[in-house]
A = this chain, B = another copy of it.
């Protein structure tokens, strides 16, 4: 007997049904915004990550040498792949390019509660617009996806930050500060104690006084962005603050400003982000970890050899992520278990009639099962119950001799007869009520 790998999940039908419902709603929302589906390779040249990504992600790669001696890796995230694809057809693609996809990614992380090595994401990205409307559209898509899933606006919040605000504020203290390292420190702020956080900022080049002042300013900025521009005389900082304000103003026009809180201590882990970044959290605090996040990454396409192409996107963890937890906490998780419209039960040699009825019901779009195991009446009825069949149609030899089938409503147990050759006939979804 084999066991699957640690950190990898088998999703059986009962577990898959609610997840498929969630993915369907997210993808439907993405399509309505004009995001277009793409499909991308699971395996890529490892250099796409080892050349540019932060250490954390490189340490977690599922990389190996393939049979042709290439250093390849299972993809830990989508962004480098879509960047590569944009570069490959840069001229032919009309801008803005708006893509989405749902697929697994792989990271060799320590397996623990809620951390998996195979994780599924729906990614949505816009390439080719540096305008605040593009950032706001990503926020609007993400918020609409959540409300479409049945969440109320009071049940989640987007903590919105800005990489250039963080960077320019850091530089205003000391031009020599290692901005990526300091940003990574901010990203770890909620996960480490204060001393360690200040140490990390010190490692990045701030002295402890500056580190404290920097952190105070982030919190003051959350209340009023003017605190930042008052504290530092930097045109670049002022431009970054203006950009954040413009994104939030566009978000207001797009109907999603109410979900957004300025939260400058939100930084996101990956190095390639540039402008606005955001993370979604459970507003009730019951789910403490981030639900998902996204942001702007204006330099990545150029780094991948393309023409300068601004970009902004979001990756929503689905399947085995914190999103199911958020939906469960707020009673928005679709029911577990499978649904079945009809079970056509055979008693005696009635296969041809049962098959005809099943076929006609399937043509009308229904989920229909019939016996493929040559089982007894009661075994079939038990199976029909196990698949939550709404209606059981009994094709019995004796009934059929009278030209009849029995129609049984499983919830109530009520049953009646119906003319066999009128079933389903003109009825689109015949039930007990139509014949009782």
Contacts and interface: CB of A to CB of B under 8 A. Distances in A.
A243 interface: no
Majority secondary structure, A binding face: mixed
Interface string A75-95: 000001100110111000111
Contacts of A356: 255
A376 interface: no
Interface string A58-70: 0000101111101
A39 interface: yes
A18 to B, nearest CB: 11
Copies of the protein in its oligomer: 2
A316 B88 CA distance: 30
A215 interface: no
A12 B89 contact: yes
Contact of A10 (B88, B129, B362): B88
Contacts of A39: 9-11, 16, 19, 120, 319
Nearest to A111: B68
Nearest to A62: B66
A84 B133 CA distance: 48
28 contacts: A1-B84, A1-B305, A2-B48, A2-B80, A4-B84, A5-B41, A5-B43, A8-B42, A8-B44, A10-B38, A11-B39, A16-B38, A19-B39, A20-B37, A32-B362, A33-B368, A33-B369, A34-B369, A41-B118, A62-B66, A64-B64, A64-B65, A131-B372, A131-B373, A134-B373, A253-B352, A254-B355, A255-B356
Interface of A: 1-5, 8-13, 16-17, 19-20, 31-34, 36-45, 47-48, 62, 64-68, 70, 72, 74, 80-81, 84-85, 87-89, 93-96, 98-99, 104, 106, 108, 118, 120, 126, 128-129, 131, 133-134, 136-137, 144, 250, 253-255, 304-306, 319, 338, 340, 351-352, 355-356, 359, 362, 365-369, 371-374, 382-383, 386-387
